[in-house]
Structure 1
Amino acid sequence: MTKGFWHRIAAWCAFAPAPLPASQEQAEGAQARVQHAPKGGGERWRAVAPEPGAEAAALFAPYQPPASVRGAGAVLAQDSVTPALWGHGGAGLAWGNGLLAEGLTFRGYPALAAMMLRAEFRKPVEIIAREATREWIRLRVMGAQEENTPDTTPDTTPDTTPDTMPGPMPADPAAQAVPPPAYPRDAALRLRAVEQAFARLDVRDLMRRLVVQALGYGMGHVWIGLKGSAGNEALPLCLTSHGVGCGQLERLGLIDPVWTTPAQYNALNPLAADYYRPTGWWVQGTQVHASRLLSVVPYEVPDLLKPAYNFGGLALPQMLEASVQNFLRTRQAVSDMIGNYATRVLRTDMAGGMADPDGAPEIDAQGITARLAAMTAWQSSNGTFVLDRETEDFSISSASLSGLSELQAQSQEFMAAVPGIPLVKLFGLQPQGLNASSDGEIRVFYDEIAAFQQAHMAPVLRAILRLVQLDLWGWVDPALEFEFVPLWQMSEQESAAVERQKADMDEVNIRSGKITPAEARAREAADGTSLYRTLGLRATHTPPDPAGQTAQKAG
């Protein structure tokens, strides 16, 4: 990336004065700039009004990581975004106070970490992470009819596994056309080996913590740790047999985004694949190629704001900030109202009965204080107030508490609207009324979780599945896939009824000649909910006809 990209754009288009370098813009912010102009052999200074949008440009200044994150002497060229661009087309982003009030500026990782300590911010993040990994995944072989005997026929099926890595993943047809001899031909053995590798790497808990990190900080990274890769972190990693060998995958670990910052990215050509997409990262002083980090950004921001967010996205606590603050303020106000809903009122002769001994009309403050202290000490069911019958009267003034619970509940419900979590899941609040049920809300929430899994978790899991196969056999089976187990599960009785209906349908179809027993077995193999999906289901021969055998014996 070339430094001063927006500087050159402004100069070419001539729609705004040339902006200052990024460091000076950050220092001056929205203050009036001063331009230096020579006149008559001397020099003078004149004040110039701030450019439109300068305040917003200062709010979205590029993220500055801790000093130890970048390597020694490494400086990332920053975009000098002209303030005129922020204010282009009217007001633009020239509403800095609104940005700060609504939580639209990057809070920074220390502030986000502190926000995650509060239950109102932490619980929605944890619920989404737990629900996204609760039923986990189901491994299966897509469209393969497997036998329990070895097959020496070369497999010429091209590798159609999608490229899910941030970096380049060149095809390797020569290495992937024919599986190695150590590759098990039995589907059950392959699935069992992959499941054991996932358990060894603790992929399920890794993905749960990755979702927590991505939602809590706006971005999460998984580090691919290979044996013997020390010193080669800056080189691209290809997920082929030439890039990862058997037994080379050592571990998968999480990298906190506070210790990362982009090393380089393209800000010149929007048609390029790496436009505003880092190809390298600094990880606490070590430069790492992007293909060695599996990154997740749930809530991505526009390109102009990516440098300000460390090329991450909006964090869920930051999105919840306004709703949580409103709820905390409402909760405190309701608590104060309940604690002070009743006020005791003493009507007495303030000017006469409590005047000083000389008869001056001044009020004896000490006398009033002593009188109220005595009444406060006696306020119980066993206490007695002594009042002057002629000049004193006592009463209790109370405020109505009706409606406070509805106000507090409404402010609490706003916190559930942003993450889209049902109240029964987030707060344990059951719906009220006759025939009230939260099944519909839970089904909608499960659909949201399923969409989240496919959008953000599936690319990472697909890359890990590819890594595990290369580590086990040095070959990637394009037919080996996974699917997320639906969160909405049937009961045992419902599942048994469905299996019985499938068996009855297969029996009728086989007898009528619509399908053969082998085709019925193939359907069972492809059915992700079948009890026999992991078994060798390919029939080696057609079962004999019992009626024909009986006729032969009779003859």
Structure 2
Amino acid sequence: MWPFDRKARTQAMLDKVADARKKEDQENARKLAMRRAVMKSMERRASDNAKKWAPPELMPGVVPAGVTPAVAMDSLCGPTYQFLNSAAGGLYAANIQPFPGYQNLAALATRAEYRAFASTHGNELTREWIEITSKSRKDAKALADKIKELEEACEYFNLRNVFRQAAEQETLFGRGQVSINVRGADISIPLILDPRTIQKGSLRDFTTIEPMWTSPSAYNALDPTAADFYKPSTWWVMGHEMHASRLLTIITRPLPDMLKPAYNFSGMSLSQLAQPYVENWLRTRQSVSDLVDKFSRTFLKTNMAQVLNGGEGGDVFDRVEMYVNMQSNLGMGVMDSETEDIVQVNTPLSGLSDLQAQSQEHMCSVSRTPAIILTGISPSGLNASSEGEIRTFYDWISSIQEAYYYQPIDTCLKVIQLHLWGEVDDSITFKFKPLWQPSAKEESEIRFNKAQEAQIYIANSVIDPSEARQQLSDDPDSGWDNIDGDLEIVQPGMFDDEGGDPGVPVEQNKGALNGAQVSSLVEISQSVAAGTLSVEAAEAVLLHSFGINKEEADKMLSPPENVPSVDVAESAKVDAPAPDVLPGEEGQ
């Protein structure tokens, strides 16, 4: 056999062995990939099976040593946890996570996004605060001093800031609690709003307690028809048992009864609700940042044969390093005009801002807070405005105030009244101030419209001027709430003979009307003739405002066919000299 035939045969055998080995390696790689996929699936399944509804982990010392927590697995909640875990597969298929624990919720509070949720809701809920008033307007002046004293006491006890902190804690952890601290009181017994239990001057202060320091001590889990079913009657507060009436609990996102033990009888934290949306926003923001950082890439077209054939390629890498070091507006690049070229590839960035803004809007939507309030970023685009969204948000905040904060604040106000006066005045109440405040221009327009409305009512004898004055005095937004509403204003010369023109005798000054009054008489007569004012109403105005007797009023308001052809203004004239003619100069 010729040497070259033997060499070719040997090469063919080597190629065949190499192909077989290559196929074997590919098969082994495929089997390895399959095994890895199976292992990941098993790990995921094991992880899902490991995530079960379980009792919350309590801070050491919350429940006294040797006492079984009311939310433990071996308590009355045991069957509840078993029932929840029987359907755990379906729950986790929907990506529903159990209670993350106060440790994780506290850690989330360190991120700006979760912190913004809590601070925004807490500030907006208490920004305008409350207005303490009387239930009846008639008692407003009599209770003015007591209301002022009650307002000063609320400032002394820092009641507004206490509820702001409670709102923030409720947003972060799902439950806000306000403790009513009375000197010398037994905190384990109910707090009754009575002078015998809250003596005058016995209130110490109000404090907020984070949910991690409390846990239910007793609750009704047997009678669903009872009002206190799955509502704690007493709480453990760092080893001390406190009655629920002394620990005002605020939960704006309540959970179903079967989930309450697993959440330590808290509500759903807004941080946990918003976590998927915040994570999407953070991922989108980082992806956009990475894309902007690497959107432009530069390629050098050169001979890569040496590198691809296993060589060191030092010349190629040296040239690349030279291009990188000299890549600036003041640098200069050099290349082979025949075998080399530089190409710049740019990634399109259009639409990235829309994707990022949409992700941020989704984060705002879960908290029902407009982006302008939560982030301070105003909407963009032609004729874009957030006024409608802000008004809707304020309406939602107002509904939260009435539904979840009215009763706790009312209880605190009654406790303060017992502390101040030793009694509760049932005629004192309060209301939440509206969050939407009109501008100075809008307030001026409102007052002007009210003034016109009062003028029309007075002119048509619907109300008396004294009633309009009283309305101004009672309205704190009128700008005239400091006037005396009971003071009667009498215009000179309207109801008596005094105050007339001193240059005219009294007998002539009697019944004299000025130009404005004559014009008013003409307008009243025209209104009666046009049918816009009844004869009775016009007659009442003439009798009470102009001092005209009933006979003269009937003549002035009678139909034209029964009245001599004399102008209405002529009937109001008197035989008095013209004001610009002096006595003794009539003939001149």
Shift of 1:371: 3.5
Report deviation, 1:419: 1.2
Deviations along 1:307-338, one digit per CA (max 9) or x if unpaired, are 11111111111111111100111111111111
> Does the C-alpha gap of structure 1 residues 518 and 256 become closer, same or farther in structure 2, counting only changes over 3 Å?
farther
2:155 is matched with: 199
Give the deviation of 1:223 after TM superposition: 0.7
1:140 partnered with 2:121: no
Question: In 1, Cα distance between the equivalents of 2:122 and 2:177?
Answer: 15
**CA 1:534–1:299: 2 relative to 1, 3 Å:** farther
Q: CA deviation at 1:203?
A: 1.1
Query: What whole-Å deviation, never above 9, does each CA across 1:370-414 have from its counterpart, x for those lacking one?
Result: 332222112112223332344332211221111111111111111
What residue number does 2:270 align with?
316
Please name the residue that 1:297 is paired with. Answer: 251
Shift in alpha-carbon separation, 1:511–1:244, aligned structure 2, 3 A: farther
State the percentage of identical aligned residues.
36
Superposition pairs of residues 245-256 of structure 1, within 5 angstroms: 245-256=199-210
In the alignment, the residues of structure 2 paired with residue 524 and residue 244 of structure 1 have an alpha-carbon distance, to the nearest angstrom, of 40
SS in 2 for 1:254: strand
1:410 correspondence with 2:369: no
Partner amino acid, structure 1, of 2:162: L
Cα offsets for 1:496-515 (capped at 9, x unmatched): 33234434544554565545
1:347 and 2:345 equivalent?
Answer: no
- Of 385, 401, 406, which aligns to 1:458? 406
1:218 aligns with 2:174: yes
Structure 2 counterpart of 1:435, from 352, 366, 383: 383
Q: Deviations over 1:86-124 (max 9, x none)?
A: 488xxx55235446x45x421211111111111111112
Counterpart residue number, 2:496 = 550
- Greater alpha carbon shift after TM alignment, 514-523 vs 431-440: 514-523
Name whichever structure is richer in helix by fraction.
2
Aligned to 2:394: 446
Amino acid aligned to 1:286: H
Aligned to 1:208: 164
2: CA distance between counterparts of 1:320 and 1:105? 14
Whether 1:95 aligns to 2:93 is no
Please tell me whether residue 488 in structure 1 is matched to residue 481 in structure 2: no
d(CA) in 1 for partners of 2:123, 2:148 = 24
Q: Deviations over 1:156-215 (max 9, x none)?
A: xxxxxxxxxxxxxxxxxxxxxxxxxxxxxx321011101100110111111111111111
Separation in structure 2 between the aligned mates of residue 106 and residue 532 of structure 1, nearest angstrom: 56
Q: Distance in 1 between matches of 2:234 and 2:476?
A: 39
Q: Per the alignment, do residues 437 and 379 of structure 1 end up closer, same or farther by CA in structure 2, a change over 3 Å counting?
A: same
CA distance in 2, matches of 1:439, 1:412: 19
**1:189 to 1:290, Cα distance in 2 relative to 1, 3 A:** same
Q: 1:257 to 1:524 in 2, by over 3 A?
A: farther
- Tell me, in whole angstroms, the C-alpha distance in 1 between the residues paired with 2:330 and 2:459: 90
> Out of 82, 95, 104, which is 1:111 matched to?
104
1:466 and 1:67, CA in 2 relative to 1: closer, same or farther beyond 3 A?
Answer: same
Question: Equivalent residue for 2:241?
Answer: 287
In structure 2, the gaps of 5 or more residues are 1-46, 500-505, 511-588
Q: Equivalent residues in 2 for 1:47-446 (5 A)? A: 59-75=52-68, 76=70, 77-81=75-79, 85-86=83-84, 92-98=87-93, 101-102=95-96, 104-146=97-139, 186-229=142-185, 232-352=186-306, 361-364=309-312, 366-446=314-394
Question: Aligned letter for 1:112?
Answer: L
Which secondary structure state, in structure 1, belongs to the residue aligned with residue 343 of structure 2?
strand
Do the aligned residues in 1 keep the contact of 2:132 with 2:147 (CA within 8 Å)? yes
Q: Is the 8 A contact 1:145 1:522 kept in 2?
A: no
TM-score of the two chains, using structure 1 as the length reference: 0.74
List gaps (5 residues or longer) in structure 1.
1-53, 149-185, 356-360
Please, what is the CA RMSD of the aligned residues?
3.1
Q: Contact conserved, 1:55 with 1:96, CA < 8 A, in 2?
A: no
The amino acid across from 1:413 in the alignment is E
* Contact 2:492 2:498 (8 Å CA) reproduced: no
Structure 2 residue matching 1:385: 3-state secondary structure? coil
Question: Structure 1 residues 516, 312: CA separation in 2 closer, same or farther (over 3 Å shift)?
Answer: farther
Relative contact order: is structure 1 or structure 2 higher (C-alpha 8 Å, sep ≥ 6)?
1
SS in 2 for 1:445: helix
